[in-house]
Structure 1
């Protein structure tokens, strides 16, 4: 390789200037254009192109090809592909005599490629992330000093592009965390801070998301007629979108409940709205119950179950199966009407999301519904006490605090 003395003072000055400029540029298009323009100025060539590697398609593509249109090629095709795949500089004094050169773009445009200098741009680990290509040295072919300059510029450009990508990833990560934090705050704000007071009934609820935001949600509220409203929803997936879907379902339900309290009609109306709003393949399983002070439970479920029912203190625990499909799939809702159920003093209703009974042990075994049903039957204390025992059971089974799936439970108990 030629000695650094072969590079002029003006070229060194230009290289230092572009290095400083690349360090502060925050827009990718502007960054690439600066690299291409600097290549043309420093190497005294007619055109310059910046090819970036697209890892998804394994192609090299360029938005910045000064004097040309966008080009996209396979990462191993042609001269740029050879420079990228071999991670080495390629100088072609006469492209038309090189079998790797594709003359078709020249024929279409009327341009004549006389010489090419193609240099891989690498990150700090030496891994190629793209290619810088200079076209047609003015007056003569590319000189040994040009090869050194091009490599130095490509090295600076590769690091600048890597830095830009890392900065973008950090910004996007921060924005995503902020969005998820906002979604979590919205979701948490919808969870009742204190159980509603309905004469003759005790209730509580709990939710633990598998990520910063979860696809589960619940609500407990006092209806206008003095009865207790119960909602538990589980949207498919995790993250912001399912959290917002459950929040929407809960808000719709609470608004509709001001007008009527028939659970099947409520789910049908929520289903009509969500079917229009939700993306294909998305759905929500949903339980809705209305319990009055005498313990009469009117209920419906869109794909959510099993629901555990203990009709009286010490009674065996039954399971109620959902009478309809998940919500948001088909309109109209194809759920059947259910018979009201009487909860006697000491009896209770327990509605769970599948993240609880499908909790995994370290050995990969699921907890199952039977141990939970046994706990519900044997426990004689308050809803809060039963909730604490259930949480402890699941934690012992998982042997870790972070669940694999969102875990939500609502308990309603008739006072003795």
Structure 2
């Protein structure tokens, strides 16, 4: 039968799910407390929250009361499938007075003997966060008051779900950053190096990266690159590209050859991600640098007693933009004793309100043949990147005198 409630009861229910003490709980405890309260207020036997995995377009069982097994089993259901998937797809409340095997895809619901279900979407602004549903072991027609209360609980769960997702993304991004960006550059005979990375996004990481490694031949590999976008998604792509380039560097004799293989990899596995990269190989005597650029800005060279200048190397298309018409090319740079090679990403010199030549000219005025750490500190302090809107990566290599 349909339940009706008076104004006093409705007020009690409203206060129960908007209690200020809930805001002091962490996310997991908040979700559990909400489910406990909604079970009591609605007189139901089960309550569950499934949050959306946006990449997989699946709902993931995250918190449950009376259905704890589905959380332990890591139950997932695609959007549009089953009861919860239907709620997510329509973004509207769904009531099932009589649950049948054709209505649900989670066998745990049937094993528990759930007879009736009510589910509502969890949203935050225009975004779907997940689904909240309750169930009873006896037949029940859920009324409009039940729907409104469950929607109120879903609003609280939506805030908690968004916070949880943001925290997970941030933790993953920071862990990825620590694993991919060198915490300390290697000590290499004949050169000194310094680097900086400043994210232009609140997640603390984006698609810019740099890398330094020694090769079995004695050559030194130096890489800097930029995957379009910000946040965890770009960082994941960046990590795969960085690992692939390291592998290709071991089997290729020139930077152009390695970038050609990387280009094929990006076209096939990372389609749709615009990526630029600069790969330089510094000779064992550190006097010669062979460079190949995939759409990346040319490095700056600063020799003792001379103004800094942009290197004149061929620039080929970025990675993954389409079939190659001609082979990728190498350029050669001479690095004299005391000379500095500065590699950087576009966030260092690009500004929305000016042409890129302005930023490049300013950079040339800042770079000089000084210790690598001094060069990095100078360009980062004086090039207007204290509050960047784009990621900035800088890598300086100075040949010993």
Provide the C-alpha distance between the structure 2 equivalents of 1:270 and 1:354, rounded to a whole number of angstroms: 21
Return the index of the structure with the highest Cα Rg.
1
Deviation at residue 338 of structure 1 after TM alignment: 3.1
Provide the C-alpha distance between the structure 1 equivalents of 2:297 and 2:44, rounded to a whole number of angstroms: 58
Deviations 1:216-269 (A, max 9, x none): 110122222222211001011111222122222222222222233311101111
Counterpart of 2:108? none
Counterpart of 1:405? 390
- 2:274 aligns with one of 263, 280, 283: 283
Residue pairs, 1:27-106, within 5 angstroms: 27=49, 61-66=92-97
Provide the C-alpha distance between the structure 2 equivalents of 1:180 and 1:405, rounded to a whole number of angstroms: 16
Counterpart of 2:184? 193
- What SS does the aligned partner of 1:204 have? strand
> TM-score w.r.t. structure 2 length?
0.63
Counterpart of 2:364? 373
Which ranges in structure 2 are unaligned for 5 or more consecutive residues? 10-37, 51-58, 67-83, 103-119, 123-141
Q: 1:302–1:322: 8 Å Cα contact kept in structure 2?
A: no
Classify 1:365/1:341 alpha carbon distance in 2 versus 1 (closer, same or farther; 3 Å). closer
Deviation at residue 356 of structure 1 after TM alignment: 0.4
Residue pairs, 1:128-207, within 5 angstroms: 152-188=145-181, 191=182, 193-199=184-190, 201-207=191-197
- What SS does the aligned partner of 1:202 have? strand
Q: Would you say how many aligned residue pairs link Structure 1 and Structure 2?
A: 304
- What SS does the aligned partner of 1:368 have? helix
Q: 1:221–1:230: 8 Å Cα contact kept in structure 2?
A: yes
Q: Does 1:393 align with 2:378?
A: no
Provide the C-alpha distance between the structure 2 equivalents of 1:268 and 1:3, rounded to a whole number of angstroms: 70
Q: 2:254–2:330: 8 Å Cα contact kept in structure 1?
A: no
Provide the C-alpha distance between the structure 1 equivalents of 2:161 and 2:235, rounded to a whole number of angstroms: 26
- What SS does the aligned partner of 1:369 have? helix
Deviation at residue 178 of structure 1 after TM alignment: 3.0
Deviation at residue 64 of structure 1 after TM alignment: 2.7
- What SS does the aligned partner of 1:176 have? helix
Provide the C-alpha distance between the structure 2 equivalents of 1:215 and 1:345, rounded to a whole number of angstroms: 33
Deviations 1:150-207 (A, max 9, x none): 565454333233233334333333332332233223223xx251343132x2222221
Deviation at residue 333 of structure 1 after TM alignment: 7.6
Deviation at residue 347 of structure 1 after TM alignment: 2.2
Counterpart of 2:109? none
Provide the C-alpha distance between the structure 1 equivalents of 2:348 and 2:174, rounded to a whole number of angstroms: 24
Q: 1:275–1:330: 8 Å Cα contact kept in structure 2?
A: yes
Counterpart of 1:382? 371
Provide the C-alpha distance between the structure 2 equivalents of 1:249 and 1:216, rounded to a whole number of angstroms: 11
Deviation at residue 25 of structure 1 after TM alignment: 2.4
Provide the C-alpha distance between the structure 2 equivalents of 1:229 and 1:246, rounded to a whole number of angstroms: 17
Counterpart of 2:30? none
Q: Does 1:250 align with 2:242?
A: yes
Provide the C-alpha distance between the structure 2 equivalents of 1:300 and 1:220, rounded to a whole number of angstroms: 15
> TM-score w.r.t. structure 1 length?
0.61
Residue pairs, 1:100-139, within 5 angstroms: none
- What SS does the aligned partner of 2:48 have? coil
Provide the C-alpha distance between the structure 2 equivalents of 1:232 and 1:294, rounded to a whole number of angstroms: 18
Provide the C-alpha distance between the structure 2 equivalents of 1:223 and 1:198, rounded to a whole number of angstroms: 13
- What SS does the aligned partner of 2:276 have? strand
Q: RMSD of the alignment, in Å?
A: 4.2
Classify 1:67/1:350 alpha carbon distance in 2 versus 1 (closer, same or farther; 3 Å). same
Counterpart of 1:241? 233
Classify 1:321/1:66 alpha carbon distance in 2 versus 1 (closer, same or farther; 3 Å). farther
Deviation at residue 21 of structure 1 after TM alignment: 4.4
Deviations 1:367-387 (A, max 9, x none): 6110111111xx342111111
Deviation at residue 209 of structure 1 after TM alignment: 1.6
Deviation at residue 365 of structure 1 after TM alignment: 8.6
Classify 1:214/1:60 alpha carbon distance in 2 versus 1 (closer, same or farther; 3 Å). closer
Classify 1:346/1:25 alpha carbon distance in 2 versus 1 (closer, same or farther; 3 Å). same
Deviation at residue 315 of structure 1 after TM alignment: 4.5
Q: 2:87–2:93: 8 Å Cα contact kept in structure 1?
A: no
Provide the C-alpha distance between the structure 1 equivalents of 2:240 and 2:373, rounded to a whole number of angstroms: 27
Classify 1:255/1:333 alpha carbon distance in 2 versus 1 (closer, same or farther; 3 Å). farther
Provide the C-alpha distance between the structure 2 equivalents of 1:180 and 1:23, rounded to a whole number of angstroms: 38
Q: 1:327–1:333: 8 Å Cα contact kept in structure 2?
A: no
